[in-house]
Amino acid sequence: MSNLRLATFGGGCFWCTETVFLAVKGIEKVVSGYSGGNAPGKPTYREICSGLTGHAEVIQITYDEDIISFEDILVIFMTTHNPTQLNRQGADVGTQYRSVVFYHNDQQKEISEIVIKELSQYFEDKIVTEISPLDIFYEAEKEHQDYYKNNSTSGYCSFVINPKMQKLRQLHADKLK
């Protein structure tokens, strides 16, 4: 019997974080979307890219807590993007690319605070990952779902996503499907 839970993270471009988590054992589903802003109504990708909505590109993960813990998912998240870059990941710049954990309950908030504090010793620069309550999650347009699977030969996938996947395999091989 599965024990399904939700987790929502923003770590730069959602195409990267989606790809990382689709490879992890215990992850049942990953949906790319938007969260954390204040614009009225469901935003579009174009609106998000403007930086004016306040939303971040995020993924919402459905995971089986009997197979993988929120803590393990958070460690994978924190070590497969750069949590020390404010409002950017690599060449992607803007608040829509911020590092953020949108917690679903007080337990996720507490675990996030503890894990980030523990991991901070491994980073030269200060971790700037935001920890905020999830208000609303908007699913991104269809072309942003399963992006890597549908576009694996694109330059973005080759130069940005593939190195993240290599890092995932190096650091978390025991957690992969």
**pLDDT tens figures, 37-83:** 988 889 999 999 998 899 999 999 999 999 999 999 999 999 999 99
- pLDDT per residue as tens digits for the range 93-105: 999 999 999 999 9
pLDDT, averaged across the chain: 94
For residue range 13-40, list pLDDT tens digits in order: 999 999 999 999 999 999 999 999 988 8
| pLDDT for 140 beyond 70 | yes
Q: How far apart are CA 151 and CA 123, in angstroms?
A: 32
- CA nearest to 59, candidates 90, 91, 81: 81
Q: Which CATH number fits domain 4-175: 3.30.1060.10, 3.30.450.40, 3.40.30.10, 3.40.50.720?
A: 3.30.1060.10
- Among 5, 96, 14, 112, smallest CA distance to 58 is for 14
Residues serving a catalytic function are 13
C-alpha to C-alpha distance for 68 and 88, rounded to whole angstroms: 28
